[in-house]
Amino acid sequence: MGWAIALHGGAGDIPRSMPPERREPREAALRHCLQIGVDAIKAGRSPLDVVELVVRELEDNPHFNAGRGSVLTSNGTVEMEACVMVGDTKKCGAVSGLTTVKNAVSLARLVMEKTPHIYLGFDGAEQFAKEQGVETLDASHFITPENVDRLKQAKEANKVQIDYTQPIQKVEEEDESASLPNGDSQIG
């Protein structure tokens, strides 16, 4: 018996050829977030506090698909969602369809702690966020140039992509000098 913590920053078709300038910041962020969690749990914070703290940090990092850096809908908008759950009581809270809330995970915790419900979505969730005074930001805060490019590629291919799907390559592309916005060569 002892404390333990684990975190993820997304799964998908992550190419082993991922260049260092894209890999290293993500690895550094994972280490940073892990250390935040370890410090918190060593300091005696509850597991609920720890997971909220760590996920907030991951949300604030544009390299991951939550909060700032969230991927875009087909309309070019963000719709974020989050959930928390406590083991011994099975208390839980969840939110969906957020467009302005800086840290969705904290709003999910408020749903758990301040309402008789489990799950709020879209306008109701945004309204609840305002009532609770949680930090909100203009939707443009969450949208990164990289994700605008990813949406463009996905729309051109008429596909949806899970986290870290490799850029979609257009087979008709014959311009060998062409490269994708993230620096990945289309010709390998």
Partner 1 sequence: TVGCVAVDSSGNLAAATSTGGLVNKMAGRIGDTPIIGAGTYANSLCAVSATGKGEAIIRATIGRDVAALMEYKGLSLEKAAAYVVQECAPVGTVGLVAVSANGQVTMPFNTNGMFRACANEDGYTHVGIWQD
Residues in region 74-93 near partner 1 by CB under 8 A: 74-75, 77-88, 90, 92
Q: Does 160 bind partner 1 (CB under 8 A)?
A: yes
Under 8 Å between Cβ of 12 and 165: yes
Distance (Å) of CA 128 to CA 21, 66, 122, 143, 153 = 39, 20, 10, 23, 35
- Whichever of 174 and 188 has its CB closer to partner 1, that residue is 188
Chain position carrying tokens 């890999």: 23
Q: Hey, which residues between 13 and 72 contact partner 1 (CB under 8 A)?
A: 13-16, 18, 23, 26-27, 30-31, 33-34, 37-38, 41, 46-48, 50-52, 54-55, 58-59, 64-67, 69-72
- Which tokens in the block code for residue 167? 């850029």
Q: Within 106-125, which residues bind partner 1 (CB under 8 A)?
A: 108, 118-119, 121-122
Of 86, 80, 88, the closest CA to residue 112 belongs to 86
Q: Does 145 sit near partner 1 (CB under 8 A)?
A: no
Return phi, psi of residue 24, to 5°: -65, -40
Q: For residues 9 and 186, which CB has a smaller minimum distance to partner 1 in the complex?
A: 9
Query: Is 134 near partner 1 (CB under 8 A)?
Result: no
